[in-house]
Structure formats: C-alpha cells, structure tokens
Chains A and B, each alone.
Chain A
Amino acid sequence: MSSQSNDDSAQREINYYKERLKKLTSSYMSLEYRNSDLTKDVLQMSEGLKVIAELQHEKAESNMDQLLDGLAESINIRLKMDVTLVLVPVQEGEFVYQAKFVKAYAGYPVNEVKGKLITIPEQFFESRKTIIFNQDSSEDEFVLTLLKEFDMQQFILTPIIHDRKVFGYFFAARRSQLLQSGTGILPYHQNILEAMSGVVSAVQNQIDRNIILERLVEERTKELKREKEISEELLLNILPYETTQELKANGFAKAKDYNVVTVLFTDFKNFTQFSDGMPSHMLVAEIDFYYRAFDKITAKHGIEKIKTIGDSYMCASGLPVEKKRHAQDAVLAALEIRDFVSAVKEERLKENKPFFEIRIGLHSGPVIAGIVGIKKFAYDIWGDTVNVASRMESSSEAGKVNISDVTYQLVKDEFDCSYRGKINAKNKGDIDMYYVERLA
C-alpha cells in the first residue's frame, strides 16, 4: 500500500470516529439539556408538593384570611412566580371579585393592584375551569382583561371550589424572560393549585363547622346562664344572698350568732273562721295577695323574710348583714303592712267583699341564724327573741303594731308610741308593751 493510501485510510478512520463522537456528543448534550428542563419542572413540582404537605399542618381553626395570605406567599416563592394574588367575591352570589393577598416582586404596583375589581364572566364562572395562558396574544376578552389589569405575560387562574361553589380564584403569574424562553405555566401548576384549593375548602368546612358549633355553644351558654339566673333567683327566695354565696364557696353555711335583731310577726285575725266558708284555692289566692305585698314592703326596708306558717308571716331585721337601724326599719315595715291591710279593708268594705285584719308584734334581741338539713334548705332563726316576738304578735290587736320594751327603747325617739302597761305573755310573764302609732 502506498503512503497516500495509508494516509487516506487513517483520515477516513479519524473522520469516522469524529463523526461517531459528534453523534454521541450531540445525543448526550440533547439529553443533558432536556434533563435541565425536566430538573426545573421536578424542582418546582417538588416545591409545590412540599407546600401541600406543609398545609397538612394547618390548624383546623385557621383564620381564612391568614391561610390565603400564607398560600399566596408560598405559591409566589415556591412556584417561582412573579405575582400571586387571590380573587375573592365582593358579595356572595355576584361575579365581581376583588384582588387581595397580593404578593409580588419589588417594583410591582402592589397597592394599585390590591383592591382591583375583576368581573368574572358568568359562563366562565359556571364552568369552574382553569385558564393557563402562555401565549404571546389572545382574543379572549377575559384573558385580555387579566393581562391588562395585572400587567403580566403568563398566568394561571384557578378556581377555589368549596361546597361545589366558586369560593375565589388563585391568580399566579410570571413576566416574560428576556434571556430564556422559560417553560411558562404548566399543567402541574394547575394540579398543585387545585390541591391547595382542596385544602382551602377543607379549612373553610372546618371554619363553617366551628361557626355552627360556636353558635350552638353560645345558645346553650345563654340557656345555661338563664337557668342559672333562675336557680339563683329561686335560691335567693329561700336563702339570704350572703348565705347563698357562702354555700357556693364552701358547700355549707355556718350558723351565726347575732347580738341584736328585730323580729316581726304578723297574723290574720279570725283566719280560721274566715277560711271555713271559702274554697281553698280562693283562700290561697287571698293569702298570696297579701304576702306578695308584705314581701315588697320588707324587701323595700331591707328586712329578711324568714318564713310563713299558715297565716303567720315572719321576718327579721338586722341579718344576715347586721345593721344599726334594724329596729326602726322593722317598725317602719310593720306600720306599712298595717296600713296596707287597713287600706284593703276599706276597699273591700265598699265593695262588700270579705277582708282580713292583721295583728303585728315585734321584739328585739339576740338570735342564731342559719340553715339546717340537706334537703329543702331553709334559712331560719332561733332563740328566745323569736318566741317573745311571737308573743308580742299574739298579745296585739287587729290593726295594731305591738312592740316590746326592748324594741321601744330602740325606736322611741322616732315614733309615737302608747304604753299599754305590763301585759302577761304566755310562758314569759308580764312584759311592758307599746303600740306604735306613727312616725314622730
């Protein structure tokens, strides 16, 4: 073989391997470039999935505004958008949406865009579709509106569906790149935004449930409060306020010694005789009529009603909170009760109706007060003072307020009283007694 032929052969071999190398290189490089594009997508997809994964930790009671603000921030950063916002309806059932939660690069007119109103075409609204726009131009009026209002070149608009209705829209957009063509907005962006929309819906469901629960709790709380008020009112009817507080705080209330209180008894004259000819329900109604009036009078003068025993009404002044003017207040109440019964008598006489007359007696002295038993609590007072007061009532006369000397000494400066002399009281011997006529 000639040298020329050897050279040709060697050159052919070199050319062959060069061509092979070129083909290998080109296929390799082409793969590398595609790999580069895929890597971008995979990275973005994985970022999107991370955002969705992080949403699992979102508290069920999340505030929706905070959630949407956080989602807009995540979408903008993690999906490498230039602008992200949420369109929320201005009024439910209407197609006008407001741009809120705007996240954008520096230089974007965030304040101008925030609050912009976008009218969603009814047909698009009903379709619940997503728009992905990467083209250079469009003839769709709604797309043109979005491009113009938000000044972006590529965008995705995805509905946030809740309860089979459009709750709002995610709008995420990019600027056109100068240096590279970029991949634009891709279908997986839609998948990620739809998944986010699902989370928004789940959270909204929870918020809705919470609202219903809160309403129920509020209603139940009101009911309970009312029930509690009724219970307390009932309790206050039975026990003095201070004793109810002591019972609530400790579960029991101690009996308490009082150095001096004034005890008042009333009794209807000829009650038995009166009641004989009257149906029992009418009798009860009559007593109720008088006792309601007595309750008002004693409450007005700060006197504690103790109990009623048949036609006898018993109350005490100066407990459970001690007070200096216990005797004066008790006498004032007694006079008022006397006058009330007398006034009723006058009216009934005119109408030729039956009426009661009343005896009233008061005595002042020490008592022990407290509650006893574990059922049907009753606040009561004990001591000789109570017995003497009762005797004062029985030693009184119809339409009179009879007081003991002890009480007289306490009130004599303020009331006109007439001395009755020493009068025998059952089991108590002779006691100085006075009728109280009026305020001095």
Chain B
Amino acid sequence: MKTKVGIGASNQTNSFAAGKEAAMQAMEQGGIDRPDFALIFCGGKHSPEEFLKGVNEIIPDTPKAGGSSFGIITDSFIGYDGFEVGVTIFSSDKIRFEIFSQGGLNENEYEAGQGLGQKLQGALKDDSRGLWVFYDSSKQQNPPMLNFATPLFAALEQYLPSDLAVAGGGFLSDMMLSSTYQFVNNEIYSQHVVGILVSGECKMETAILHGCQPCSDYITITKANGPLVIEIDNQPALEMIDELLGPDHGVKFKDFAMNVTLGVNRGDKFGDFKESDYANRLTLAVDEGSKALVMFEPDLTEGTEVQLMRRNMEPDYVEEVIEEVNKKLSGSDPVYAFYINCGGRAKPFSGVNFEDAAEVQKAIGPIPLSGFYSGVEVARVGQNLQPLDWTGVLSVLAEV
C-alpha cells in the first residue's frame, strides 16, 4: 500500500474543537483508516491541553509529535494569527516514524543536544533516512532569553551520520514570547527538544529557501555579547541600522524586531552573489537601553562582517529550489513535503508582495504539504547542521 498522508487545519478559537476538526479533516482527506503517526501543531493563542484532547477524540492511540507554532501551512491554508492548528496523519507500510525527546533545554542547550543525540544514535538503522527536530526557541523566563540552536545542534550532529537528512525548527508562538510546548504522543512538554527519526523504504531531500540578498556594504560587528549585537562599525547597532535605513524611514526601533536581518557571506567576499553562501541572522528584539539588536543566535561575534539583507521582490527562487529537489528525487515517489518557514517571512512581516509559503504550495504541486512558521530554522549546510534565520527549510519525503 502506498503511504497515505492526510492533512487538516482549523482556526476556531475553541482549542478542543479546532484540534478535533483538523484531525477529522486529516483522516478524511487522506482516506486513512489506520493512522500510524501524526504531526500536530497549534498556534500560540490555543490551549495545548485542549488542542491535544481534541486531536485525541479522533486519533487517541496514534503516536504523535509536534508543538506550538507561530503559524500553520498546509496545501490549502496559511495562517499566522495564533488560532490556527494543523494535523498531518500518516499511514504507511514502508515508512516508520520514531519519536525521541530530551528535556533540560533551558538549562543547557549543548547537553540537551547530546542527550537527544545519544537516544537517536541508539535507534539509528541502516534504513534511517531523515530527522525532523523541534525545540523551544524561548527559555520562557523573565527577562526573556532564548535557547540557542548553535550549541544544541553542534552537540546533536556529533551523533548523526552525515548523510542523514535533517530539517528542524525552533518554536515561537507569538510576538510576546509566550510559552511554547512540545507534543510527544499524549504528553505535553516544555523546554524539550524532540526528534522524529524517519526510516524505511524511503528517501528524504531537504532544501533551503532564503530568497534574500544583501543591500548594504559590509559592516563589521565591533561589540557583541552573546545574542546582543551592541555596536556595528563602532556605532551603537540601532543607530547604525537607523542610518542604513536612511532619513524619515518611519520605522520605530522596536519594530526592527522580526524585520532587520544581517547576512554573513561565507563565500567569496567580492565574488558574484551566491545565496547559498549566506547565513542570515534575524533580529528577535531590540534592547533600546543599550541600543543593541537581540539576535536569535549568539554567533555574530565581534569582528564578524555582515550585510543588511533584504527580501527578493520576486518569488522565482521558490520554483528553482523545488525543481532542484524534484530532480534529486527523480525515480522515487514523493509522498509528503514538510515546510518549516521563518515567521519573519510571512507576508505581513517580510515587506514583499507575495506569500512565500503560497509559492511553495504552488511549486510543490500535488505532493501533500504541511508545515509551520518558526523562530529558527535548521538544515544541513554542507556537512554541518546550521541554525538559519529568515529562511524556509523544505523537506520532501519519497517512497523508493
């Protein structure tokens, strides 16, 4: 039997009803009578307990994983208002999904990565083909602080074979850094990292969608502290960005958050522009007191040369990237596409006139698609697991 995938979504304010509706839709849409595994996500305005209860009205005994999200993407639905939920149900004789989790993320990201890595290492088989990883972006403490993906994935990748496809996302529920959660079967966790190991007669391909380019000279970070970029070219960072935006730009400092993106060119500094050479870092928040940018990741250290990035005004890049994925999958039978897209790339935040996820919907064609909007995205860049910002990570699962 070919793998069946059913996808459902809802945006009712009643969390229980929304979960039930989405799960019912997924069962019906996929024509599923034996649910084997489910990916479940709910927006930050929902109660995770009620949402899970709603889902469990339909698939109580099905293994499931997922968590809180900034928004939901399916074949036919895109939403990021906080009340959307998405449920994807799989039924397959050929593909297996195993769920692993590790807590203590807020205490030590590196150790959490090691813990999950060890569990995964013990479960890896010859036919393990891919891994999806989710974690809390925020430590959920006051003052707000992030869980950094860099140490988490640096630890995790030591335990993974280099040919294992990986796609991941850090959960962010809203602009208030409200609590986020992870679903592991019928448990609801917080401050955990969750891994879903995909094995069987299958193949997984991942692709990175940036869709942005530099729009400034190289500027150098001259003072930084962890995720804080305090000075650029010896000027307070906020003032520097303010200057780069020109006079009368009308943007408040606070609104640099989820907008200002700095790119690091890892390729030829003065060579032709090559998108894949860039690692982007999105501003999570601003610290107006110290006139600093608060980045999602702490890797923009002193001396790092960066450029202010802007989005591509045309969505052509999406089709090009997906064509490339399809080429790699030729000869196999794609059954599902999973898209983890940065919340900052949603249309109201990106400043472009197109919806990036809608372009993915179009380009992916008849392959069932679902996904969520995240705070941080993770994929392999070369051999390494790389936390990325302002990025979309697409993984396509195919039967072989």
**Is B330 located at the chain interface by the 8 A CB criterion?**
no
Closest to B49 in A: A106
Q: Mark A15-30, 1 if CB is under 8 A from B, else 0.
A: 0001001110111111
Asked whether, in the complex, the Cβ of B348 is within 8 Å of the Cβ of A43, the reply is yes
Contact: B13 with A30, CB < 8 Å?
no
The CA-CA distance from A27 to B215 in the complex, in Å, is: 11
| A210 adjacent to chain B (CB < 8 Å) | no
Give chain B residues whose Cβ lies under 8 Å from the Cβ of A127: none
Alpha-carbon distance A175/B285, docked complex (angstroms): 17
Q: A80-B81, A180-B175 are in contact. Are A29 and B310 (CB under 8 A)?
A: yes
Instruction: Determine if B246 and A27 form an interchain contact, defined as CB atoms under 8 angstroms apart.
Output: yes
Instruction: Indicate if B351 sits at the interface (CB-CB under 8 A).
Output: yes
Q: A30-B245, A33-B259 are in contact. Are A105 and B82 (CB under 8 A)?
A: yes
Q: Is the CB of A29 within 8 A of B81?
A: no
Q: Which of B156-164, B185-193, B250-258 contacts A (4 or more CB under 8 A)?
A: B250-258
* Chain A contacts with B in 4-58, Cβ cutoff 8 A: 18, 21-23, 25-30, 32-37, 39-40, 43
Whether B119 sits at the interface, judged by CB under 8 Å, is no
Within 8 A of A (CB), among B203-231: 215-217
A18 lies within 8 A of B217 (CB) = yes
Q: Which residues of A contact B245 (CB under 8 A)?
A: 26, 29-30, 33
CB of A123 within 8 A of chain B? no
Q: Which residues of B contact A104 (CB under 8 A)?
A: 13, 45
Contact B255 A181 (CB under 8 A): yes
Tell yes or no: B50 within 8 A of A by CB: yes
A29 with B284: CB separation less than 8 A: no
B254 near A181: Cβ-Cβ < 8 Å? yes
Look across to chain A and name the residue whose beta carbon is closest to the beta carbon of B79. A77
Interface membership of A107, Cβ < 8 A: yes
Residue of A nearest to B244 (CB): A26
Report B144 CB to chain A, min CB distance, Å.
7
Chain B interface size, as a band, is 35 or more
Taken residue by residue from 98 to 113, chain A's Cβ proximity to chain B (1 for < 8 Å, 0 otherwise) reads as 0000011111000000
Q: Is B96 among interface residues, defined by CB-CB distance under 8 A? A: no
Number of A-B contacts (CB under 8 A): 120
Query: B176, A107: Cβ atoms under 8 Å?
Result: no
Q: How many residues of A contact B (CB 8 A)?
A: 38
- Does A91 interact with chain B (Cβ within 8 Å)? no
- Report A-chain residues with C-beta under 8 Å of the C-beta of B255: 33, 37, 180-181
A25 touches B215 (CB 8 A): yes
**Residue pair A30, B215 in contact (C-beta under 8 Å):** no
Q: Is A429 part of the contact surface with B, judged by Cβ < 8 Å?
A: no
B177 surroundings in chain A (CB, below 8 A):
178-179
By a CB distance below 8 angstroms, the chain B residues around A40 are 348-349
Contact assessment for A103 and B13 in the assembled complex, using a CB-CB cutoff below 8 Å: yes
Among candidates B47, B175, B216, B311, residue contacting A177 with C-beta atoms closer than 8 Å: B175
Residue of B nearest to A42 (CB): B348
Known: A29-B244, A33-B251. A179 touches B45 (CB 8 A): no
The minimal Cβ–Cβ distance linking B76 to chain A, given in whole angstroms, is: 16
A34 lies within 8 A of B284 (CB): no
CA distance A33 to B11 in the complex (A): 28
Complex contact B11–A22 (CB within 8 A): no
C-alpha gap A32/B245 in the complex (Å): 10
> Is there a chain A Cβ closer than 8 Å to B64's Cβ?
no
**Residues on the B chain within 8 Å of A32, using CB:** 310-311, 351
Partner among A34, A39, A105, A179 whose Cβ is within 8 Å of the Cβ of B257: A179
Cross-chain contact A106 with B12 (CB below 8 angstroms): no
Residue among B11, B252, B255, B352 having the largest count of chain A Cβ atoms under 10 Å: B255
Does A277 belong to the interface (CB within 8 Å)? no
A29-B244, A77-B11, A175-B176 known; A22 and B45 CB under 8 Å?
Answer: no
In the assembled complex, A182 has its CB within 8 A of some CB on chain B: yes
B128 in the interface (beta carbon within 8 A): no
Residues of A within 8 Å of B248, CB to CB, are 30
Q: Does A76 contact B (CB under 8 A)?
A: yes
Kindly provide the distance from the CB of B321 to the nearest chain A CB, expressed in whole angstroms: 22
A178-B175 in contact (CB<8A): yes
Chain A residues whose C-beta falls within 8 Å of the C-beta of B15 in the assembled complex:
106
Choice from B13, B44, B349 contacting A76 with Cβ under 8 Å: B13
Q: Does B232 contact A (CB under 8 A)?
A: no
Shortest beta-carbon distance from A106 to chain B in Å: 4
A35 with B351: CB separation less than 8 A: yes
Q: Which residue, of A21, A26, A28, A40, has the highest number of chain B Cβ atoms within 10 A?
A: A26
Give the distance in Å from the alpha carbon of A104 to the alpha carbon of B247 in the complex: 40
Is A82 interfacial (CB 8 A cutoff)? yes
Chain B residues, CB < 8 A from A105: 44-46, 82-83
Does residue A329 face the partner (Cβ distance < 8 Å to B)? Answer: no
In the complex, the answer to whether A178 meets B176 with C-beta atoms within 8 Å is yes
CB distance from B178 to the nearest CB of A (A): 8
Chain A minimum-CB-distance residue to B80: A80
Interface of B toward A, CB cutoff 8 Å: 11-13, 15, 44-48, 50, 81-83, 144, 174-177, 215-217, 243-252, 254-255, 257-259, 284-285, 308, 310-311, 347-353
Residues of A within 8 A of B (CB): 18, 21-23, 25-30, 32-37, 39-40, 43, 73, 76-78, 80, 82, 103-107, 175-182
Mind listing 29 A-B residue pairs with CB under 8 Å?
A22-B216, A22-B217, A22-B244, A23-B246, A26-B243, A26-B244, A26-B246, A26-B249, A29-B249, A29-B308, A30-B245, A30-B246, A32-B351, A33-B245, A34-B249, A35-B351, A36-B348, A36-B349, A37-B251, A37-B255, A39-B351, A43-B348, A76-B13, A78-B81, A106-B15, A175-B176, A176-B176, A177-B174, A179-B177
